Every structure is written in structure tokens, then in C-alpha cells.
A = this chain, B = another copy of it.
Amino acid sequence: MRESSLLLHVYGQNAALPARVSLPPGDDMGAVRFDPGGGGDAEVLVAVDQLADGVHVDVAHTSLSQVGRKAVTRNLSDVAAMAAVPLAAVVAACLPRDFGQSRAEALFDSLRRAAAAFDCPLIGGDIAMWDHPLLLSVTVLARPEPGIAPVKRSGAAEGDLLYVTGRLGGSLIELHGYTHHLDFEPRLHVARRLAAVCRPSAMIDLSDGMAADLPRLLAASGDLVAQVELAQLPISEAAQVAAAGSGRPPWQHAMGDGEDYELLFTVDPAQARRHLPESIEGVPVTRIGRVRKRLNPDEPPLLLMDEEGQVHPLDSTGWEHAGT
């Protein structure tokens, strides 16, 4: 079973959704509009993410404080990707029967603290117990920032420049007591600042790695390909460490490791030139390439320009295609 084909099956039903659905399945968050009373118009965004022991986190080797924090911040990264404002969160927890009262309380305290730290109060939940590993599902609600419509994945246009926040790769590597996939800051403020100064045409958060997430933005936006310049890629120190261990070049870690939770976005070149700063609140904002129309149906969506100016197609893991 492939998650991607299951998602395509789900998205195939989007046309049947009622008119109040302003963001159907397929973006970082869904949304509905409703009349809050008095003939007004309110929009609320919602997204859910799971944190499964053994899949997204290793509970035996991670502090409960980090487990709870990550369950919340993964979702807040989706809120950031829409340039929206968190409203509240709920959590469903299925706990192993032998988890223990004090550890369960510590886990809920960390969920609550992480949510409160980002002004996204935990306002409800569901607790169950079973004889299998811990599974947390956190749902976040958000609202648009006044005057800023949610930034979708689908607005990128021919000629737009491609940007990324922060530095990429090696998110599982612990370095100077910091492990990115656990300790990252969701880019909530940066995203809203971006949307205010230079409306991105499309935006997504990097959860599965740029090589997997960039094609999603391109597919949502239409028949586009992206050309990424290797020399421009902001490669993290952790990616360098990962590369030393794996023997692969650092750029492959930056493109393929995943769990960066940075923002990948496109901007009209004139907008970018006039308004886009090189960093926001200390977070670097780096131009890494541009998007253009796909020249023929066989052209892969993701192209990497190496330091000699040679262009190579990439597959969704961040590796070059065999034979190229």
C-alpha cells in the first residue's frame, strides 16, 4: 500500500465537497467558512498529525518532554505553512496499558506546555489504553491573520523564484545538545511576516524533505518543474555531520533527510526583489532556484543544477536518478 496513491484517491472526491469548504484535502491544512452569527464570515483552518512510537519518534530514547513538544510542533509547522494563526489544539492519545500514571501525566504536561508556548491552548482530548505502542494525534485549529488569506500550495507560477527558510538536512543528528527533528521552532512568525511583506505565491512546510515536498507544491500548482541550484542550498551543520557518516554528499542530506520543518515557498521575482529580506527574526531566507513550465510530459518535476551548471533530474528521495 502506498500512502501517496491513497491520498490521490481521497483528493479525487474533493469536487463533491460543499461550498463552505474553502481549503479541501491536499494542502497543509483544510478550512471551512461559516457565518458566526449576524451575517458575518469566519474561516477556520484545521490539520491533524500523528506521532507514532517507532515511526515518528522513539519513545524509549526520547524525553517525554520532547515527545509531547514534537507532537504539537509538527502541527504548528502546518499552521506556519498557511501563514495562519494558531487558535487551539486537541489531542487523542492511545497509551500502552503499562505506560504508568506519572509518565502519562508528564506527557500531557509537555503537550500542554508546548501548545501554550505557541499560544495554541490544548482544549480537549481523548484518552484510550491498549497493548500496543503510544500513538498521539494532535489536531490544531487556526484562523487567518486579518488581511492575509491562507497561503496555499497551489499558487506557484512560471518564473517564480524558489526560497527556503533556515538550513536543511541531518535533522536526526544531535549536535551541541540540539536535535532538529525534536527541538525545531515552527516558523509561525516568520511565515506571517513573509506573507505580510511579500505574499508568497505558494508555500509548504518541509516535513518529508525537499525532494519529496517540492514536487507536491509543483503538482498542486500545475504543470511546473523546479530547478534548484546546488550552490545555493543552505546546508545545515548537522547535514555535514550526517554526510561524514554516510559517505554521501551533504546536499543529498539537505534534499532528502526530511523533518526540516522549514518553509519552502515561491515568490514573484518583482515582489521578491522589492520586498524579501535576507533573513527574518534571525532565520535566513535563501533563494535556491526557480520554477518554470514543464517542457514535455516526461520531464521530471525536480532538477538540480550542479556547481558546473549541469542540470540533473532528481527522484523523490533526493538522489539522482539511476543512469543520469
User: Measuring CB to CB, which residues of chain A are less than 8 angstroms from any residue of chain B?
Assistant: 1-3, 5-7, 9-10, 13, 16-18, 20-21, 23-25, 27, 29-32, 34-38, 40-44, 46-50, 52, 54-56, 87-88, 90-92, 94-95, 97, 99-101, 104-105, 108-109, 112, 116, 119, 121-133, 135, 137, 139, 141, 143-144, 146-147
Contact = CB atoms under 8 A, between A and B. Distances in A.
16 contacts: A1-B104, A6-B101, A18-B119, A20-B88, A21-B123, A25-B124, A37-B146, A38-B40, A44-B44, A48-B137, A50-B92, A50-B128, A50-B137, A90-B139, A92-B137, A92-B139
A271 to B, nearest CB: 24
A27 B95 CA distance: 21
Contacts of A24: 123
B100 A48 contact: no
A112 B18 CA distance: 12
Given A52-B94, A92-B92, A108 B146 contact: no
Contacts of A129: 1, 3, 55
Nearest to A116: B16
A94 B37 contact: no
Contact of A88 (B32, B38, B88, B126): B32
Given A48-B124, A52-B128, 6 more contacts: A1-B95, A36-B36, A50-B126, A52-B94, A55-B130, A92-B139
Nearest to A87: B32
Contact of A34 (B18, B30, B143): B143
A137 B126 contact: yes
Contacts of A17: 121, 123
Q: For the complex of A and B, list the 8 residue pairs with the smallest distance between their C-beta atoms, beginning with the closest.
A: A30-B123, A36-B42, A30-B124, A42-B42, A137-B137, A92-B137, A139-B139, A132-B132
A56 B128 contact: yes
